[in-house]
A = this chain, B = another copy of it.
């Protein structure tokens, strides 16, 4: 049995559902490749159309503009990650063990998930690291938020915030700590590879070091002693 993981996307993010056709799926898979390759600023729908072998107008039938595509991809990623977390922490009772698992999932390089053929999660993870915050660091953040574009991100932080509260019910900043973990899992990665003096991991350049840093940060905030690493 091969079960297909389908992430329910906000319909206001697209004009035509990209998951409903071959062209749409190409827009997603080639879009990920090209944003990864050129960076979001230099990425254009024209390049994407050429890469796919279709026309600019073809892309515009699916996405209003490249910002919407980026928001779509980030929303997809957060949705996917929340599923990974709920799946991989299922049946774990100890919230501290859960939280450690979450930190590991956030900070570890992602391997491509074969369940979703047209999304390369590994590349998408890299895009989230370098471009993810551009989805909300805009003047339209208020309107975009009203349209619930960031719901998957907020849901993910809410889930992590809940685990934090389960670890220490009197801790005062579960949501801020959750968003801090998420952002820092990515920023410390970006810094490690691009501005290494902003981190303590410049020499080894290993994701496990980011995990250790985040674990220490989180568990000392929650006043929980860690058994290992």
Contacts and interface: CB of A to CB of B under 8 A. Distances in A.
B220 A154 contact: no
Contacts of A180: 180, 184, 187-188, 217
Copies in the complex: 2
Contacts of A221: 216-217, 220-221
Interface in A169-193: 172-180, 183-184, 187-188, 190-191
A208 interface: no
Contacts of A174: 200
Contacts of A197: 154, 157-158, 175
A4 interface: no
A227 interface: no
A150 interface: yes
A173 B218 CA distance: 13
A195 B145 contact: yes
Contacts of A178: 198
A38 B176 contact: no
Contact of A172 (B130, B187, B216): B216
Interface of A: 38-39, 41-42, 130-131, 133-134, 136-139, 141-142, 145, 150, 153-154, 157-158, 172-180, 183-184, 187-188, 190-191, 194-195, 197-201, 210, 212-213, 216-217, 220-221, 223
12 contacts: A42-B139, A172-B216, A174-B200, A175-B199, A176-B188, A176-B210, A176-B213, A179-B191, A179-B198, A180-B217, A183-B184, A183-B187
